[in-house]
Amino acid sequence: MRVNGKQLAVEIEGPKTGPTDSPERAILFIHGLGGTSNLFQVQAEALTDQFQVIRPDLAGAGRSAGVDPISVSSHVEDLAAILDALDAESAFVVGHSMGTLLARTLAARYPEKVSGLALLGAVRELTEPERRAQRERASLLRHHGTAGVAPAAVAGALSETTRRARPVIAAFVRELVMRQNAEGYARNCEALSQATDPGPIDPGLPLLLITGADDRIGPPAVSAELAAAHGNASLEILPAVGHWTPLEAATEVAELLLKFI
């Protein structure tokens, strides 16, 4: 799909009209750093019978070309343009990791386009050491390619239980990272390093937060803080799950989304 002068890979599945007892028509999935639309395959399959499921590869990620500049703002404008191109008046938005910042920013900037939020492994504005780490990762990508960052994506973001008991998930995460365009990945690291917090979520917006008990990147405390600030959110903390929530707890996340939506 061509939006805002760039070509983005966007998977669109399912009917345009939701079930008769639900106001939802579209569900927009937003992956995080190092991810692609494939991150949500299990959840998409669970939802496409009833909803139009929209899964883009963000600019510079997966099958979408890298462009300059890439920022949280440019991603949000692309997501809004995708919804407009599909005549989706509003969508329930599901974000993972960096995608939770994009989802919150989309809801703040275009409240009429977002009917509800689900944040998986929610992250907040980075600290200065974390910003520096993302800039260093971008440099590593430019000098050593994706092989230079893949080990950390597996070891640092998956729970020990997942790595030990379900090595196929570790293999898939490595494949996700290794298949990225190194320059596009680097630009997205820099975009995350410059991201600012979008502010509080509208208390009237339905909000579901799902995170892993062993998530070190989007720890449960972050989701708990967002839930407390919202005042009427649903919070689920999944045992023995790390940061790759949609993969490590694929069925559980699909069931929670379907029930909440």
Any bridge partners for residue 234, and if so which? 208
Q: Is the pLDDT of residue 253 over 50?
A: yes
Segments in the chain forming alpha helices (H): 41-47, 72-85, 98-109, 128-144, 150-155, 160-165, 167-178, 182-193, 220-230, 245-248, 250-260
Q: Is the pLDDT of residue 23 over 80?
A: no
Tell me which residue of 102, 105, 9 sits closest to 59, measured CA to CA: 9
> Two tokens at 75?
């991603």
> Two tokens at 42?
């299990």
Quote the pTM value. 0.96
Asked whether residue 82 is assigned to any structural domain, the reply reads: yes
Domain that residue 64 falls in: 2-126+195-260
Name the amino acid, one letter, at 120.
L
| pLDDT averaged over every residue in the chain | 95
* Structure confidence at residue 16 (pLDDT): 67
Asked whether residue 242 is assigned to any structural domain, the reply reads: yes
Q: What domain count does the chain have?
A: 1
Asked whether residue 233 is assigned to any structural domain, the reply reads: yes
Task: Identify whether the C-beta of residue 228 lies closer than 8 Å to the C-beta of residue 144.
Answer: no
* Structure confidence at residue 19 (pLDDT): 54
**Residue indicated by tokens 């230079």:** 148
Asked whether residue 84 is assigned to any structural domain, the reply reads: yes
User: Any idea what the CATH number is for the domain that residue 59 is in?
Assistant: 3.40.50.1820
Task: Identify whether the C-beta of residue 175 lies closer than 8 Å to the C-beta of residue 147.
Answer: no
Using only C-alpha atoms, what is the Rg of the chain? 17
Any bridge partners for residue 120, and if so which? 96, 210
- Rounded Cα distance between 113 and 45, Å, is 23
Asked whether residue 187 is assigned to any structural domain, the reply reads: no
Q: Is the pLDDT of residue 21 over 70?
A: no
Asked whether residue 255 is assigned to any structural domain, the reply reads: yes
- pLDDT, tens digit (0-9, with 9 covering 90-100), for 54-77: 999 999 999 998 777 899 999 999
Task: Identify whether the C-beta of residue 205 lies closer than 8 Å to the C-beta of residue 116.
Answer: yes
The pLDDT > 90 percentage for the chain reads 93
Q: Is the pLDDT of residue 20 over 50?
A: no
On the CB side of 30, how many CA atoms lie within 13 Å of its CA? 34
* Structure confidence at residue 74 (pLDDT): 97
Asked whether residue 174 is assigned to any structural domain, the reply reads: no
What number is the average pLDDT over the span 115-144? 97
Asked whether residue 153 is assigned to any structural domain, the reply reads: no
